[in-house]
């Protein structure tokens, strides 16, 4: 199949299965999605949402995070794991937001990635969800599925992002990221993926190979 047609069929399948895919993180403003995304590292969205339900009532601004004793912030986010580093990154990030941007979350990749604890993945989550600015979020699901589909052989998240950018229409980058994450959670799981039930099986190198091995095994 022509590569462009293959991508088109993959996108059509994702659109049918997850037409309204969106982030599972709860937020009401750019600062909240920034904080929630930092907390989501190696933590489930469900747990993050439980924590932020209380956290966002207590901390309303970058100043609140910047001025609170670090030990208090650590206690407030403890259940998300790796709370020492997360609290440090949140506080330093908010201090830089105050210093550089009057406490507001900036709207460009270049301004976001220089903030403590913010890489391209987090920046793309913020830009896409808070401002509608296109970006491809490469988390473990997106990385795993795009490799299984043969869309890239790269392993580094940043390299995967740049490999996908010319393949996926820019206007679909945000939705594509959410769809792939949903697909990774529902069917294309890291362990025991549900290949026989997957609508992307005809376009999947991994699934086709796995099915062949099972038949010939």
118 and 149 in a common domain: no
Q: Specify if 217 maps to a domain.
A: no
Q: Specify if 117 maps to a domain.
A: yes
Per the prediction, the chain carries an average pLDDT of 95
Whole-number pLDDT of residue 215: 45
121 belongs to the catalytic site: yes
45 belongs to the catalytic site: no
126 and 34 in a common domain: yes
What is the count of structural domains for the chain? Answer: 2
Whole-number pLDDT of residue 210: 62
Whole-number pLDDT of residue 163: 96
Where does a domain end: 116, 131, 146?
Answer: 131
- Interval 90-147: pLDDT, tens: 999 999 999 999 999 999 999 999 999 999 999 999 999 999 999 999 999 999 999 9
Q: Give the 3-state DSSP-derived string for the chain, with helices as H, strands as E and coil as C.
A: CCHHHHHHHHHHHHHHHCCCCCCCCCCCCHHHHHHHHHHCCCCCHHHHHHHHHHHHHHCCCHHHHHHCCHHHHHHHHHHHCCHHHHHHHHHHHHHHHHHHHCCCCCCCHHHHCCCCCCCHHHHHHHHHHHHCCCCCCCCHHHHHHHHHCCCCCCCCHHHHHHHHCCCCCHHHHHHHHHHHHHHHHHCCCCCCCCHHHCCCHHHCHHHHHHHHHHHHC
Q: What is the mean pLDDT of residues 152-171?
A: 96
Higher pLDDT, 71 or 214: 71
Write down the catalytic residue from 139, 170, 182, 194: 139
126 and 82 in a common domain: yes
Query: What percentage of the chain carries pLDDT values higher than 70?
Result: 95
Q: 9: domain CATH number?
A: 1.10.1670.10
50 and 17 in a common domain: no
203 and 110 in a common domain: no
Q: Specify if 196 maps to a domain.
A: yes
């Amino acid at each position: 199949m022509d590569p462009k047609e293959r991508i088109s069929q993959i996108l059509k399948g994702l659109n049918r299965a997850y037409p309204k895919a969106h982030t599972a993180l709860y937020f009401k403003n750019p600062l909240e999605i920034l904080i929630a995304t930092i907390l989501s590292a190696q933590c489930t969205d469900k747990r993050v949402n439980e924590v932020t339900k209380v956290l966002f009532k207590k901390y309303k601004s970058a100043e609140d995070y910047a001025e609170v004793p670090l030990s208090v912030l650590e206690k407030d986010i403890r259940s998300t794991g790796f709370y020492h580093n997360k609290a440090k990154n949140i506080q330093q990030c908010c201090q830089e937001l105050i210093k550089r941007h009057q406490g507001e979350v900036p709207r460009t990749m270049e301004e976001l990635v220089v903030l403590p604890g913010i890489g391209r993945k987090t920046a793309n989550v913020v830009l896409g969800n808070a401002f509608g600015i296109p970006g491809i979020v490469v988390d473990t699901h997106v990385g795993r599925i795009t490799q299984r589909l043969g869309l890239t052989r790269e392993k580094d998240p940043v390299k995967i992002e740049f490999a996908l950018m010319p393949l996926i229409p820019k206007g679909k980058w945000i939705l594509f990221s959410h769809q792939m994450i949903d697909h990774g959670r529902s069917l294309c799981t890291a362990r025991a993926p549900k290949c026989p039930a997957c609508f992307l099986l005809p376009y999947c190198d991994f699934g086709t190979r796995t099915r062949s091995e099972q038949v010939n095994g």
